[in-house]
Amino acid sequence: MLVATDSPSAIEALRVVPLAVRDYVAQESWIMLLFLIQRGHYLNFMFSPSHCGTPRNEAADDEAMIARSLPQEDSPIWHVDILAAVR
């Protein structure tokens, strides 16, 4: 299974051993990845540049834009994300 992303930091975050992950999104990603691996899927990650006309990447960007416009007051946030935003 090919997993393409326009986020080099997402690929880099997955280099951390699952038990050492402290970020909520990375933890959720690892849960899904381990679920797929346990079912016999082989995963290959690939960097895909954004905004270059790749249809699924453009669709993901559109969905992200919609999600950013939603109310965020009840969304959980980790302390490391708060510290990163303040810096």
Residues 41-83 have pLDDT tens digits of 999 998 888 888 888 888 988 998 898 888 877 767 777 777 7
Name the percent of the chain lying above pLDDT 90.
10
Task: Provide the residue range defining the domain that includes 33.
Answer: 2-86
Whole-structure pTM over 0.85, yes or no? no
In angstroms, the CA 13 to CA 16 distance is: 6
Q: Report the number of distinct structural domains present in the chain.
A: 1
* φ, ψ for residue 4, nearest 5 deg: -105, 140
CB 3 within 8 A of CB 46: yes
83 vs 9: which has the higher pLDDT: 9
**Beta strands at 44-47 and 2-5: parallel, antiparallel or unpaired:** parallel
Q: Is the pLDDT of residue 35 over 90?
A: yes
